Amino acid sequence: MKIEKLVVASHNQGKIDEIKRMMAPFKVDVVSARELELPDVEETGTTFRENAALKANQLSEISGLPCLADDSGLCVDALGGRPGVYSARYAGPERDFDRAMEHLIEELRNSGSNDWSAHFSCVLALKIPGRECRFFEGKVEGEIVSEKSGHNGFGFDPIFKPHGFDKTFANFTAEEKAKISHRGRAFEKFCRELEDLISN
């Protein structure tokens, strides 16, 4: 099945824009679940992979189109891997990430740990009707900083500093971030196979 239109299983505009930018070189019409007025799938899985598969499978079935879903999150070592799959829920129903970042920093201060190591993980799930889900994973290591910095990106980007850099993700341009981010790395793996996927 040749992919001409691809549904992105997200209602998060920041994530949608990032994925559309990464898909720009491919001649595929990328539309979001929001644009097609598809439901926001409840993330009941306990892993990024389970949640990505849930979204990709359900929205592909509803729309009849190939669907790309991503589940990603921030995992902080001193907090036992939290917020992890609950990263978006840290921001509450109103998606207030300023509050979520303050809450996370407060938790770290209360943990008594001086190790604020963290990583972002991303799992992409591609569901093509009639085929099994395919998965592509990416990860970036770094640390949490105590003060927000930068205005680009979204989510926890203003408090995450990737290893090897002296600035947070929110200080990167979209193009710079795509080269090293967890989602960028997962997309790199996805794009390696995309030529075959869109022609077969």
Which of these, 150, 133, 120, lies nearest to 190 by C-alpha position? 133
Structure tokens at 46: 């306990």
Structure tokens at 137: 């994973």
Cis (ω within 30 of 0) for the bond into 83? yes
- How far apart CA 13 and CA 68 sit, in angstroms, is 15
Q: Exposure pattern of 35-58 as b/e (b: 16+ CB <10 Å)?
A: eeebeebebeeeebbbbbbbbbbb
**Three-state DSSP state, 32:** strand
| Residue 67: DSSP 8-state | E
Structure tokens at 11: 């209602």
- How far apart CA 146 and CA 159 sit, in angstroms, is 7
- How far apart CA 26 and CA 31 sit, in angstroms, is 13
User: Is 71 assigned a catalytic role?
Assistant: yes
Which of 71, 96, 157, 196 is the catalytic position? 71
Residues acting as catalytic residues: 71
